[in-house]
A and B are shown apart, each in its own frame.
Chain A
Amino acid sequence: DTEVTQTPKHLVMGMTNKKSLKCEQHMGHRAMYWYKQKAKKPPELMFVYSYEKLSINESVPSRFSPECPNSSLLNLHLHALQPEDSALYLCASSQGPTGATNEKLFFGSGTQLSVL
């Protein structure tokens, strides 16, 4: 199993809604990531979990709240988002933390989020 599974694939939400994005991998990877990608731009790192602990928060607004319940699961809780938060949200995993030699990222297919 070399997949990173993300749900939902598409999400439309209002600015007052609370929703969650989910990510799962069963490759035994110990690092998991959330990226945000706008159209025609590269992915931007949001959060990194290493061995189930938050190791990087790239100054992401508190309306985005990550959670890592166990080594296979990663959630992103969304609350009071703004229309400019509309983007493709990508989850990724790697065998070890980034920075170790030749760590490759495996991406999920993403959640296309629209905030109205």
Chain B
Amino acid sequence: RKEVEQDPGPFNVPEGATVAFNCTYSNSASQSFFWYRQDCRKEPKLLMSVYSSGNEDGRFTAQLNRASQYISLLIRDSKLSDSATYLCVVVPTGANNLFFGTGTRLTVIP
């Protein structure tokens, strides 16, 4: 079983829509969680960390469900500029590596 599983999409949504991505992880001892955004032929950039209590940054909301071992990213009022691949990242406790999901491709359509 993979450390991190993520729906690759693609998700094609109209401007202004709300879209959510989930990412499941297999190691219950995982301690740190992140969402990264990667544009085509560019490097991944940190979008936001995911905290136990959930956290929000403008139109973006990240949540963690430890019982079901998944993290989610909600994007409200989608913009054309949100089109990218969104990668979830999980760091197990005591690990010296972090694990990437396969990425979810989002295209926001005018």
Q: Measuring CB to CB, which residues of chain A are less than 8 angstroms from any residue of chain B?
A: 40-43, 45, 48, 50, 55-56, 88, 90, 97-99, 101-110, 112
Contacts and interface: CB of A to CB of B under 8 A. Distances in A.
Residue of A41, A50, A90, A107 with most chain B CB atoms under a 10 A cut-off: A107
B49 interface: yes
Contacts of B46: 104-106
Given A56-B97, A97-B96, A109-B42, A104 B34 contact: yes
Interface residues of B, number: 23
A42 B34 contact: no
Contacts, number: 55
A76 to B, nearest CB: 15
Nearest first, the 6 A-B pairs at minimum CB distance are A42-B100, A107-B43, A99-B96, A99-B95, A109-B43, A102-B32
Given A98-B96, A105-B46, 5 more contacts: A56-B97, A90-B44, A102-B49, A105-B98, A107-B43
A4 B34 CA distance: 19
A99 B32 CA distance: 8
Given A42-B87, A98-B98, A99-B91, A104 B49 contact: yes
A44 to B, nearest CB: 8
A72 to B, nearest CB: 18
Interface in B47-92: 49, 87, 89, 91
